[in-house]
């Protein structure tokens, strides 16, 4: 399978069965046990990032690009804290849901600014660029290109999360639960932390903070890197 195929499949997945599944996981309605575990794990990842940003005490001054924003699980709380958010996603359906949730939570459609856009075509300049749980859909070579592009948009800082390769066995066992049914063809790629750090460093960034979320069915390494 080539890279273009990965992207097309991912887009179609998150505009169809993937949308229905992840909208539920990233919501507060009833879900099955596996989905509840993934919901809780993902929430921990979101909370870790929000915790870091809040600790810095300057959220209201920041412009933030949330690349692959999904339904706005991170963008909406960050906008609530006063940051200026540009939230984009390759999936029209996820973006529509994000807009709806932002309207319900914040009562406006101005911040976050939502857009249907793949992260490879993003332009502009932001204090902080964040990309959570997106790289899992791409092989390392493609992830390297994506990370380099995201670095080029970041004035000061980049925050990424990915499924680390060390948990490969555990994760691979569970992979069926990540992509059930007809969409099983959607692959989950694991990334070596050392590879991700190498590409960040080659773009002029140095690691500042790390976190790791692990539940039964969800694993995510989070890295914060700043320009040296
Ligand atoms: N970052 C969000 C979060 O943590 O709540 C969503 C994570 S969800 C597992 C992955 C998201 O990445 C989906 O909404 C999908 O549409 C989006 N995505 C996948 N490939 C993308 C790409 N090349 N550019 C932009 N978004 C992408």
* CATH number of the domain enclosing 29: 3.40.50.150
Give the number of the atom of ligand 1 that is nearest the alpha carbon of residue 146: 23
Q: How many domains does the chain have?
A: 1
CA–CA distance, 153 with 114 (Å, rounded to integer)? 17
- ipTM beyond 0.95? yes
- Do residues 172 and 200 make contact, with C-beta atoms less than 8 angstroms apart? no
Provide the whole-model pTM.
Answer: 0.94
Sheet holding 84-89, edge to edge: 113-116, 84-89, 63-67, 126-131, 154-162, 219-227, 205-214
Using most ligand atoms within 8 A of CB, pick from 66, 90, 93, 119 the residue to mutate for ligand 1: 90
pLDDT in tens, 49-69: 999 999 999 999 999 999 999
Domain range enclosing 148: 3-227
DSSP string, 142-181: HHHHHHHHHHHHEEEEEEEEE-BGGGHHHHHHHHHHHS-G
Query: Residue 134 C-alpha to ligand 1 middle, in angstroms?
Result: 5
pLDDT in tens, 131-182: 999 999 999 999 999 999 999 999 999 999 999 997 655 556 555 555 555 5
């Amino acid at each position: 399978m080539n890279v273009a195929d990965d992207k097309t499949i991912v887009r179609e997945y998150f505009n169809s069965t993937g949308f229905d599944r992840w909208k539920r996981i990233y919501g507060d309605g009833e879900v099955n046990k596996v989905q509840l575990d993934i919901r809780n794990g993902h929430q921990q990842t979101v909370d870790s990032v929000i915790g870091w940003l809040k600790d810095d005490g300057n959220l209201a001054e920041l412009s933030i690009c949330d690349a692959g924003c999904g339904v706005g699980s991170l963008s909406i709380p960050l906008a609530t804290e006063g940051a200026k958010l540009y939230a984009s996603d390759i999936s029209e359906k996820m973006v529509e849901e994000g807009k709806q949730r932002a309207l319900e939570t914040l009562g406006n459609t101005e911040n976050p600014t939502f857009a249907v856009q793949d992260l490879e075509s993003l332009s502009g300049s932001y204090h902080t660029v964040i990309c959570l749980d997106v790289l899992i859909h791409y092989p390392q070579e493609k992830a390297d290109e994506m990370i380099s592009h995201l670095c080029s948009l970041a004035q000061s800082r980049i925050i990424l999360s990915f499924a680390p390769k060390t948990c490969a066995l555990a994760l691979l066992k569970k992979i069926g639960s990540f992509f059930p049914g007809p969409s099983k063809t959607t692959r989950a790629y694991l990334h070596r932390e050392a590879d991700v750090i190498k590409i960040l460093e080659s773009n002029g960034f140095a690691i500042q903070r790390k976190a790791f979320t692990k539940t039964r069915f969800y694993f995510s390494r989070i890295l914060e890197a700043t320009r040296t």
